[in-house]
A and B are shown apart, each in its own frame.
Chain A
Amino acid sequence: MIDVQLMALLLIPLLGGVLLALFGSRPWAAELNSLMSFFTFIASAFLTMRVIDSGPQVAFGEQFFIDQFNVFLVALTAFVAFTTSLFSRPYMRIEQHHGKLSTGMLHLYYSMYQLFTFAMLIALTTNNMGIVWVAMEAATLTTVLLVSLYRTPASLEAAWKYFILCGVGIALALFGTILLYFAAERVLGEGGTALLWTHLNEVKGDLEPTVLKLAFVFLLVGYGTKVGLVPLHSWLPDAHAEGPTPVSAVLSGLLLNVAFCAVVRSKVLVDGSLGTHFAGNLMMGFGLLSVAVASFSLFRQRDIKRMFAYSSIEHMGLITFAFGMGGPVATFAGMLHMTVHSLTKSAIFFAVGHAVQKVGTQQMENIRGLLQVSPTVGWGLALGTFAILGMPPFGVFSSEFLIITTAMHSYPWATPVLLISLGVAFAAIFGKIQPVVFGETTAKPLPHSPALVPVFAHLLLVLMLGLYMPPYLADWYRQAAALLG
């Protein structure tokens, strides 16, 4: 049964990729893209119910492994991929109308969008640490041509940087995986099972600590490049600012989470093997550094998408810090933060995308008075900004509150850094977004009506998570946190 459900989840986006590779230039390609993403979302919902009912399980001869932690990311990924496909339908048509994209480019976009979803779902559900690497690299490869979709000098530069830096980063992760296999082979023997996470998790106490320590450094630096941890983050703002906005939304909302999942899986093994908090400490260090550096960089930004890209680095840093602390509360808070950050950040990018289309520039000093032209886009951006800055009653407030109180309790020295950074981020983003939303307008009407349902749907969910967390959801997160230790 689980085999069938998993197969549906993985084959639908693959089929979507093939179909859109064939029919991507037809007028109904956008609808087909949304439809396939919708089916993927339904499949993920069934899989989620199954896993919540009957606990962690393996599928296809242990090649895939699904527990509460990754099924939560699967559901989130499928949901945001679906809403983003809804958003991209009018967005890409407007871009085409403005003459920025040709039909051929849209063709590439649609088929790569489905294959990107496929690669991310493989990376999340596979049990094999080697396949995690292969799928992460595939996810990079499918998005690199999307970043350079506009073929402008700036977008080519961004895509080249993305390709080279992530290529080097992920090569280091492969070296880490090889070291992991080197250690595992001595315990589990040669052959197929020595890279399976479930097997590694069983014998993690016997794995050679010196090798695993080095392996983790490589894995963290490698996958950390994709997560966007400072000092390996320099590709991220460029790629997010220069690519089409739906791509920025999925890169920021989803790919960073998927890379982070690989880091968490490695951390569980390494801390189990060492019996110390080595991996956790390393993650806390990288996390704090990312939060601090990204917050202070926010002041210097003029490009609106670039600014929100830095805000993603800040939030990924916070998540890394939370998982680094470990323990049920911090892990719970980290997972909650992953959820609300994905939802809020993609909603912001949707609103920003339409705002930029109205004004024709990404420079914030030229975007003024969105509320006057389009109250919905304006409020969408304003509320999204409030949410991402951690204002109550939005869900980001709850998760940040949990992270900071846990830090105060266990690592008091870290709290000033966190509080100052969050304060600085607040001042920077609020100060820049306030005149963008309120004030005198410069914008003009759009040829197609913008897609704002996804924006408000996401923000409503984030609001709900802030005000009231359904008990089954809390229970699900708690189970996942318990699994990760």
Chain B
Amino acid sequence: MQIPLTLQFINLLAALLLLIAFAMLAQRRILSLINLFAWQGALLALSTFVVAYSTGQHHLYYSAGLTLLLKVLLLPWLLHRLIRKLNVRWDVETMINIPTTMLVGIALVIFAFNLAAPISQLAEGITRGLIGIALASVLLSMLMMLTRRKAVTQVVAFLSLENGLFFAATSATQGMPLVVELGIALDVLVATFIFGIFFFQIRETFDSLDITNMEKLKDD
């Protein structure tokens, strides 16, 4: 079967997206993490654009533009500013060491592909692997959220989780209705602002952004 060039290209982008998710899992410098996040956003915008071009869905062009604006420019810029102001550079240590995290990550990818297998059968042609990849990057972001101790890293993980979901929405289903996408984008933006407010509140109260300080609330 001859596969159209655009679809091959989307598949390539999906593979790169998964690669970046792994790179983020292994990265301990916060600055590089934010750069990786921006790259992930760029790949997402590109893949949305290609889907828009190949299917002729006009509203996807808006989504691609919105992704570019929000996830490649605005959010990384905000995060850069934040860490400069808060003066955090290193994510000192992870809760589990990095090689173990990577192994768990591989297991998650296999799990995601298995889970998505029955659905992939239904999708036409090449979009098959895409739901699996999207689910895998969602799970990898979740893993990152669980294993990191710094509040800033958790937020980057949260945003990259949103990226994985967005990829599922555009590539597997050719885009949710525009009103829903706009709503989601607005929520993500507001969430980032609230996260920013939180950083300052947390730092003011605890003198650090290490969330291990925040394990006091237990049932006793």
A pairs with B? yes
Decide if the interface of chain B is mainly helix, strand, loop or mixed. helix
Q: Assuming the A-B contacts A141-B191, A160-B198, A210-B119, are A300 and B219 also in contact, with contact meaning beta carbons closer than 8 angstroms in the complex?
A: yes
Q: Is the CB of A182 within 8 A of B165?
A: no
Q: Is the CB of A141 within 8 A of B173?
A: no
Which of A166-174, A245-253, A377-385 is the interface stretch? A166-174
Indicate with 1 or 0, residue by residue over A190-232, a CB within 8 angstroms of chain B CB atoms.
1110110000000000001011001000000000000000000
Candidates B180, B184, B216; contact of A157 at CB < 8 Å: B216
Which residue, of B162, B176, B220, has the highest number of chain A Cβ atoms within 10 A? B176
Q: Is the CB of A160 within 8 A of B202?
A: yes
Q: Assuming the A-B contacts A161-B217, A242-B217, are A171 and B194 also in contact, with contact meaning beta carbons closer than 8 angstroms in the complex?
A: no
Candidates A152, A154, A164, A208; contact of B154 at CB < 8 Å: A164
Give CA–CA (A238, B219) in the complex, Å. Answer: 9
Q: Is the CB of A130 within 8 A of B180?
A: yes
Residues on B with C-beta less than 8 A from A271 are none
Q: Is the CB of B216 within 8 A of A154?
A: yes
A256 touches B (CB below 8 Å)? no
Residues on A with C-beta less than 8 A from B131 are 182
Q: Is the CB of A302 within 8 A of B180?
A: no
Q: Assuming the A-B contacts A134-B184, A158-B217, are A168 and B119 also in contact, with contact meaning beta carbons closer than 8 angstroms in the complex?
A: no
Q: Is the CB of B168 within 8 A of A190?
A: no
Q: Is the CB of B118 within 8 A of A210?
A: yes
A153 touches B (CB below 8 Å)? yes
Q: Assuming the A-B contacts A160-B151, A163-B194, are A179 and B119 also in contact, with contact meaning beta carbons closer than 8 angstroms in the complex?
A: yes
Q: Is the CB of B205 within 8 A of A151?
A: yes
Which residue, of A174, A191, A237, has the highest number of chain B Cβ atoms within 10 A? A174
Q: Closest CB of chain B to A64's CB: distance in Å?
A: 13
Candidates A144, A177, A241; contact of B194 at CB < 8 Å: A144
Give CA–CA (A154, B151) in the complex, Å. Answer: 16
Residues on B with C-beta less than 8 A from A242 are 217
Give CA–CA (A241, B179) in the complex, Å. Answer: 36
Candidates B57, B122, B168, B213; contact of A211 at CB < 8 Å: B122
Q: Closest CB of chain B to A217's CB: distance in Å?
A: 9
Give CA–CA (A300, B194) in the complex, Å. Answer: 33
Q: Closest CB of chain B to A94's CB: distance in Å?
A: 24
Q: Is the CB of A156 within 8 A of B138?
A: no
Q: What residue of chain A has the Cβ atom nearest to residue B162's Cβ?
A: A171
Q: What residue of chain A has the Cβ atom nearest to residue B142's Cβ?
A: A168
Decide if the interface of chain A is mainly helix, strand, loop or mixed. helix
Q: Is the CB of B173 within 8 A of A181?
A: yes
B201 touches A (CB below 8 Å)? yes
Indicate with 1 or 0, residue by residue over B158-193, a CB within 8 angstroms of chain A CB atoms.
100110010011001110110110011011001100
Q: Is the CB of A164 within 8 A of B158?
A: yes
Residues on B with C-beta less than 8 A from A168 are 142, 145, 158, 161
A5 touches B (CB below 8 Å)? no
Residues on B with C-beta less than 8 A from A210 are 118-119, 122
Candidates B183, B190, B204; contact of A131 at CB < 8 Å: B183
Q: Closest CB of chain A to B109's CB: distance in Å?
A: 16
Q: Closest CB of chain A to B116's CB: distance in Å?
A: 8
Q: What residue of chain A has the Cβ atom nearest to residue B197's Cβ?
A: A145
Q: Is the CB of B205 within 8 A of A175?
A: no
A297 touches B (CB below 8 Å)? yes
Q: Is the CB of B217 within 8 A of A195?
A: no
A400 touches B (CB below 8 Å)? no
Q: Is the CB of B214 within 8 A of A157?
A: yes
Q: Is the CB of A145 within 8 A of B194?
A: yes
Q: List 15 interface pairs A-B (beta carbons < 8 Å), by A numbering.
A: A130-B179, A131-B183, A145-B194, A153-B206, A156-B205, A160-B198, A160-B202, A160-B214, A164-B154, A164-B158, A178-B165, A179-B119, A182-B131, A241-B217, A301-B219
Using a CB–CB cutoff of 8 Å, the interface residues on chain A facing chain B are: 128, 130-131, 133-134, 137-138, 141, 144-145, 148, 151-154, 156-161, 163-164, 167-168, 171, 174-175, 177-179, 181-182, 185-186, 190-192, 194-195, 208, 210-211, 214, 237-238, 241-242, 297, 300-302, 306
Nearest 5 A-B pairs (CB), nearest first?
A130-B180, A134-B183, A157-B214, A137-B187, A210-B118
